[in-house]
């Protein structure tokens, strides 16, 4: 019994010593922490648990088009402070020059060089072609989860018209949705010869105006360049004369160069060329020197709301325009400016979070576009600003996201963006809107037909050759190079597309 009692007491003493040691350790911990607060828990290495540490910001590589700006790094540093706070991300903006963008981006994408976001369009780093090559991430699910703001602010026609094989692979810029061709006039000459430009509707209606200016200004070519006269067709392929009439009801694909409309246009241009209304070298003429000299009367352009004001400001003499057709939404107008996420990105969700913020956050959008207040621009009112000349930062607004978030310039109309929205709402859809032709099975024929178009196109469109002689030869060359096979494939896919809608 005595031995058993000693053993029990020894056990109690051991527990008491352990308790005292534990209390001493707690007391020592408080003293070492320098406060009476409970010390933060640590792991065996003395670090905070991962759940309590803030993740390192994700860095997104973003390629875009334009010209490198002197203060670009300074602006992006401010952008990244904001992005880190908002979505715990940063961007590395890489700007490639206008003329180099397509070639360089094709090499980057094909080689697998890392990037997360890139500008794409119908005219630079071709959107549809690049999506089909697998360069871009399919965005449908990302849009639903991380791009809800985009879907709220973007006209549905943008997303519908930019689908490839039924899926979205890029986010269109919220800007003018339709295209509208206009006759654009040098108002100084129009006023000097008392021309009623409201009567300018068709190509033929220009004749008395051209005649008046040429008679009074022998050294002026009233049509200064290759204006690529309007023809009422919706084209299935960029740069090829294959499409359907804008007023089609049967959706029959035609060779546009082999239509009465094209024959009339070629004939009218040849008549104008022989009358001296276009420069003798117009088929090969490059540049826009006429805009600087003011020695021109009319050309063809595509308009946006208040375009006459923009053209007037740019040229420093008055410009006026008259519409050739009503606003219409084409595939190429919908895909004129988009941001795509790379199919190889490691951060698709974060990239979409950034694009969502870019299209919904006015502070971010204006910072990227206008730079830093007081350094690159002066704030005039809550929603107007004035750029500081030669400040070191000036980006092309239409390439960077939702334009309707941008502050206005001092001389912009107060309802500028409301007018843009009204312009978008006024448009009708072109017959092929949403149809994206897959050229895989006729790539050789497309290359051959493009060569024929290059051979004859400029000469016919500028009237430099007699269409009675050259148009039949051009049509025959198109056939020899495989245009009928391309048209048959377009018709097949178009019929399938219409049946699926």
Mean pLDDT value across the chain: 90
Q: Are residues 206 and 92 in the same domain?
A: no
Are 292 and 188 found together in one domain? yes
Average pLDDT over residues 359-363: 98
- Is 476 found in the same domain as 347? no
Across 407-427, average pLDDT: 93
Last residue of a domain, one of 429, 448, 480: 429
From 363, 322, 310, select the one nearest 195 (Cα to Cα): 322
Residues of the chain with pLDDT > 70, as a percent, come to: 89
Say yes or no: 124 and 68 in one domain.
Answer: yes
251 and 126 fall within a common domain: no
pLDDT exceeds cutoff 80 at 54: no
- Say what the pLDDT of residue 286 is: 85
What is the predicted pLDDT for the residue at 108? 98
Instruction: Report the alpha-carbon distance of residue 223 to residue 303 in Å, rounded.
Output: 18
Question: 164: which strand partners?
Answer: 167
Does the structure show a pLDDT above 60 at 252? yes
**The total number of structural domains that make up the chain:** 3
Residue 395: CATH number of its domain: 3.40.190.10
Read off the pLDDT of each residue in 302-321 and give the average, rounded to a whole number.
93
Last residue of one domain, picked from the residues 429, 453, 478: 429
pLDDT for residue 472 is more than 90? yes
Give the pLDDT band of residue 8 (cuts 50, 70, 90).
very low
Residue 45: predicted pLDDT: 43
- DSSP readout, 29-88? HHHHHTSSSPPPP--TTSPPPGGGSPPPPEEEEEEEEE---TTHHHHHHHHHHHHHHHHS
* In a shared domain, residues 312 and 187: yes
Between the alpha carbon of residue 457 and those of residues 14, 170, 276, 296, the distances in Å are 102, 32, 20, 23
Per-residue pLDDT band for 165 (boundaries 50, 70, 90) equals confident
pLDDT digits (tens, 9 = 90+) for 186-244: 999 999 999 999 999 999 999 999 999 999 999 999 999 999 999 999 999 989 999 99
Burial of 353 (0-12, 13-18, 19+ CB in 10 A): buried
Output the pLDDT for position 310.
Answer: 86
Evaluate if residue 36 carries a pLDDT over 60. Answer: no
Vertex 475, ends 473 and 479: CA angle to 5°? 115
Q: Once rounded to an integer, what is the mean pLDDT over residues 252-267?
A: 98
- Give the Å distances, CA to CA, from 145 to 10, 74, 426, 491: 65, 32, 31, 36
Query: pLDDT tens for residues 335-356?
Result: 999 999 999 999 999 999 999 9
**pLDDT in the model for residue 451:** 97
Q: pLDDT band at residue 399, thresholds of 50, 70 and 90?
A: very high
Could you tell me if residue 270 is inside a domain?
A: no
Say how far apart CA 129 and CA 112 lie, in whole Å.
Answer: 17
- Mean predicted confidence (pLDDT) in 128-145: 97
Q: Is residue 482 part of a domain?
A: yes
CA 379 to chain centre: 27
Same domain, 405 and 463: no
Contacting residues for 275 by C-beta, under 8 A, at least 6 apart: 210, 211, 214
- Please report whether residue 167 resides in a domain: yes
State the pTM of this model.
0.80
Bigger pLDDT: 244 vs 500: 244
Q: Does the structure show a pLDDT above 80 at 10?
A: no
Tell me, yes or no, whether 246 and 357 share the same domain.
no
**Lowest pLDDT segment from 18-22, 378-382, 444-448:** 18-22
Q: Please enumerate in sequence order all residues whose Cβ is within 8 A of that of 59, keeping only pairs 6 or more positions apart, or say none.
A: 89, 90, 91, 92
Does some domain include residue 204?
A: yes
Strand pairing of 384-387 and 254-255? unpaired
For residues 283 and 317, state if they share a domain: yes
Mean pLDDT, to the nearest integer, of 131-160?
A: 95
In terms of domains, do 195 and 306 share one? yes
Domain carrying residue 410? 58-176+333-429
d(CA 79, CA 69) in angstroms, rounded, equals 15
- Reported as type and span, the H/E element at residue 211 is helix 207-216
pLDDT at 287: 83
Q: What is the pLDDT of residues 278-310, one digit of tens each?
A: 999 999 998 888 999 999 999 999 999 999 988
Q: Is the pLDDT of residue 362 over 80?
A: yes
Q: Please give the full DSSP string across 418-438, using - where no structure is assigned.
A: HHHHHHHHT-EE-TTTT----
Q: Does residue 45 belong to any structural domain of this protein?
A: no
Same domain, 454 and 497: yes
- Is residue 271, in this structure, part of any structural domain at all? no
Q: Are 130 and 109 in contact (CB under 8 A)?
A: yes
Q: How many CB atoms lie within 10 A of CB 201?
A: 13
Domain boundary among 429, 455, 482: 429
What is the average pLDDT across 479-490? 98
The stretch 456-476 carries a mean pLDDT of 98
Q: Sheet containing 117-120: give its strands across.
A: 89-97, 58-66, 117-120, 338-341, 171-172
pLDDT tens digits, 79-133: 999 999 999 999 999 999 999 999 999 999 999 999 999 999 999 999 999 999 9
Residue 43 inside a domain? The answer is no
pLDDT at 250 over 90: yes
Whether residue 5 has pLDDT greater than 60: no
Is-contact 67 97, C-beta < 8 A?
yes
Helices 483-500, 443-461: crossing angle, 10 deg rounding: 110
* Residue 340 domain-assigned (yes or no): yes
* Same-domain check for residues 127 and 189: no
53 has pLDDT over 50: yes
Helices and strands (H, E) in the chain, number of each type? 19, 18
* pLDDT of the residue at 501: 80
């Amino acid at each position: 019994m005595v031995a058993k009692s000693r053993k029990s007491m020894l056990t109690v003493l051991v527990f008491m010593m352990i308790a005292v040691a534990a209390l001493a350790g707690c007391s020592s911990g408080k003293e070492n922490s320098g406060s009476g607060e409970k010390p933060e828990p640590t792991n065996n290495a003395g670090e905070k648990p991962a759940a309590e540490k803030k993740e390192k910001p994700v860095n997104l590589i973003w390629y875009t088009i334009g010209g490198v700006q002197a203060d670009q790094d300074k602006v992006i540093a401010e952008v990244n402070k904001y992005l880190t706070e908002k979505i715990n991300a940063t961007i590395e903006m890489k700007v490639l020059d206008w003329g180099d963008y397509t070639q360089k981006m094709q090499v980057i994408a094909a080689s697998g060089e890392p990037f997360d976001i890139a500008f794409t369009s119908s005219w630079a780093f071709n959107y549809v072609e690049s999506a089909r090559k697998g360069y871009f991430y399919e965005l449908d699910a990302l849009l639903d989860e991380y791009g809800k703001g985009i879907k709220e602010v973007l006209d549905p026609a943008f997303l519908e018209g930019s689908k490839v094989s039924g899926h979205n692979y890029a986010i269109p810029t919220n800007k003018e949705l339709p295209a509208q061709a206009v006759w654009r006039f040098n108002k100084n000459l129009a006023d000097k010869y008392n021309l009623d430009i409201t009567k300018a509707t068709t190509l033929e209606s220009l004749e008395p105006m051209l005649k008046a200016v040429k008679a009074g200004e022998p050294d002026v070519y009233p049509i200064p360049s290759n204006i690529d006269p309007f023809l009422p067709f919706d084209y299935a392929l960029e740069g090829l004369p294959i499409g359907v009439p804008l007023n089609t009801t049967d959706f029959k694909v035609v060779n546009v160069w082999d239509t009465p409309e094209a024959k009339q246009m070629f004939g009218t241009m040849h008549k104008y060329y022989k009358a001296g209304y276009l420069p003798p070298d117009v088929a090969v003429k490059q540049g826009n020197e006429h805009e600087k000299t003011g020695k021109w009367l009319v050309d063809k352009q595509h308009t946006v709301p208040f375009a006459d004001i923009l053209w007037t400001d740019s040229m420093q003499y008055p410009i006026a325009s008259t519409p050739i057709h009503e606003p219409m939404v084409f595939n190429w107008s919908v895909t004129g400016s988009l941001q795509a996420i790379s199919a190889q990105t490691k951060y698709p969700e974060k990239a979409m979070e950034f694009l969502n913020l870019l299209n919904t956050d006015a502070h971010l959008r204006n910072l990227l576009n206008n730079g830093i207040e007081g350094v690159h621009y002066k704030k005039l009112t809550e929603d107007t600003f004035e750029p500081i000349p030669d400040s070191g930062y000036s980006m092309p607004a239409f390439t960077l996201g939702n334009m309707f978030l941008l502050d206005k310039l001092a001389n912009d109309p107060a309802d500028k963006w409301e007018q843009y929205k009204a312009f978008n709402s006024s448009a009708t859809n072109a017959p092929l809107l949403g149809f994206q032709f897959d050229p895989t099975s006729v790539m050789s024929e497309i290359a051959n037909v493009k060569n024929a178009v290059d051979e004859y196109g400029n000469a016919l469109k500028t009237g430099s050759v007699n269409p009675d002689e050259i148009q039949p030869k051009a049509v025959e060359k198109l056939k020899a190079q495989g245009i009928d096979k391309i048209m048959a494939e377009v018709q097949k896919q178009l019929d399938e597309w219409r049946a699926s809608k």
